[in-house]
Amino acid sequence: MKTAKLFFLALAGSALALAGCTTVNSVENAQKEGQRNMVSDQRVITDPSLNRKVAIVGVNTAMLPTGLLKVQVELENHTRSLQRFLYHFEWFDANGMQVNNIISASVPEQIEGKESKMIFSIAPNPSCKDFRVKFIEAN
Amino acid sequence: MKNKILLPLIAAAAAALFTGCATDAHYVQTGDKEQIVSLNQINIQDYANAANDAVKDLLQSGALDKVANPPALLELSRIVNNTSQQVDTDLLTKKISIALLQSGKAQTKTVDRKAVGYQQENEFMNDQKTTRLPDFTLSGKIIETVDRAGSTRRTTYSFQLSLNDPKAGVQVWEGEKEIGKQGTRNTVGF
């Protein structure tokens, strides 16, 4: 009787634990046509909890024909559950001065368990040469 | 004796628990992690995100660069509000026009009556027409869709924007951003 109770409790517990765990399967072409221009990045991790869950895989950039810098960051969810976070791009000119712009809104984003996801932004004007991306974990 | 030890401990634990729930007035940044998420209305951060996406997409498309005399001249046209709430569409269009002006890719035609008056006076005095027709107009629509399942409500706001070439009569760029919110009640945080 006691064993049966324990079994059902364990079952209910694991069902609760697994609820909300959705991971992503994906497929892509193995021989890539496009070449990513990966840039060496410098990371400052003050929230190891977020970094353990949603890790930065790499950063690549491209100069658009319109003269604007495009930055793409690849993220990967190392957990098996959905993670929510905010990200925010900051831009700097050739003198390292931050370029004030209205479109650098903090963007709420979510990533499914084990999913790999790209986020990107476009420089607000052609004078922007450098960038910084900030990530904040949701409450 | 036991109660004397337990009571202060419980009081301290309760105080620690409720400290994080203080709601004293303080300044906040739009789009911070404490943003209020409303199920029945468009929040300020929703406009910012929709404008952000539209500007990124528009700048990436290069549509504004295909004009004879850059920067392109843009006139803001009508944004149709197809939601259940009263919306000031400037919350969306102003952000877009500021961002495009900051990018150096476009200028917006003035709607200031005094500026237009001075321009017309200048044209009359110099006997020459200086009014430049806009290269593009920006129009759009905001649509609200509500789905319910029991007490759970999902509201989706679709921000649809079109960049129109008035000379050719065609749409040279279109963008859509959907912002979906789901839950049973409004909340703080996202």
Please choose, from the candidates A59, A41, A43, the residue with its C-alpha nearest in 3D space to the C-alpha of residue A51: A43
Element (H, E) at B102: helix B90-103
Is residue A82 classed as helix, strand or coil in its secondary structure?
A: coil
Task: Give the gap in angstroms from C-alpha B82 to the nearest C-alpha of chain A.
Answer: 24
User: Is the complex ipTM higher than 0.90?
Assistant: no
CA distance B47 to B36: 14
> B12 φ, ψ to 5°?
-65, -40
Does any CB of chain B come closer than 8 Å to the CB of residue A61?
Answer: no
Please choose, from the candidates B61, B112, B49, the residue with its C-alpha nearest in 3D space to the C-alpha of residue A102: B49
Task: Give the gap in angstroms from C-alpha B119 to the nearest C-alpha of chain A.
Answer: 29
Does any CB of chain A come closer than 8 Å to the CB of residue B105?
Answer: yes
Average pLDDT over residues A90-95: 96
Task: Give the gap in angstroms from C-alpha A72 to the nearest C-alpha of chain B.
Answer: 12
Burial class (CB in 10 A: 0-12, 13-18, 19+), A87: middle
Give pLDDT, residue A62.
96
Q: Which residue among A65, A120, A124 sits closest to B103, beta carbon to beta carbon? A: A124
- A138 to B33: CB separation less than 8 angstroms, yes or no: yes
Q: Which residue among A105, A136, A138 sits closest to B48, beta carbon to beta carbon? A: A105
Contacts of B55 in chain A (CB under 8 A): 103, 122
Q: Is the dihedral of CA A106, B190, B18, B5 positive or negative?
A: negative
CA distance A122 to A120: 7
Q: How long a stretch of residues is chain B?
A: 190
Please choose, from the candidates A68, A48, A65, A84, the residue with its C-alpha nearest in 3D space to the C-alpha of residue A131: A68
* Domain range A36-137, its CATH number among 3.60.15.10, 2.40.50.430, 2.60.40.3230, 3.40.50.970: 2.60.40.3230
Asked if the model's pLDDT at residue A2 lies above 80, the reply is: no
Q: Which residue among B29, B52, B59 sits closest to A66, beta carbon to beta carbon? A: B59
Q: Hey, of B33, B97, B161, which one would you mutate to test binding to chain A, going by the most A CBs within 10 A of its CB?
A: B33
Q: Hey, of A85, A91, A103, A109, which one would you mutate to test binding to chain B, going by the most B CBs within 10 A of its CB?
A: A103
- B62 to A103: CB separation less than 8 angstroms, yes or no: no
Q: ∠ CA B52-A98-A130 to the nearest 5 degrees?
A: 80
Domains of chain B (ranges, CATH numbers): 32-188 (3.40.50)
Is residue A120 classed as helix, strand or coil in its secondary structure?
A: strand
pLDDT digits (tens, 9 = 90+) for B63-113: 999 999 999 999 999 999 999 999 999 999 999 999 999 999 999 988 888
Contacts of A87 in chain B (CB under 8 A): none
Q: Of A15-29, A104-118, B173-187, which one has max mean pLDDT?
A: B173-187
CA distance A96 to A131: 10
CA distance B53 to A107: 10
pLDDT digits (tens, 9 = 90+) for B106-155: 999 888 889 888 888 888 888 887 778 999 999 999 999 999 999 999 99
Is residue B57 classed as helix, strand or coil in its secondary structure?
A: helix
Give pLDDT, residue B86.
95
Q: Which residue of A has its CA nearest to B55?
A: A103
Q: Hey, of B59, B97, B101, B173, which one would you mutate to test binding to chain A, going by the most A CBs within 10 A of its CB?
A: B59
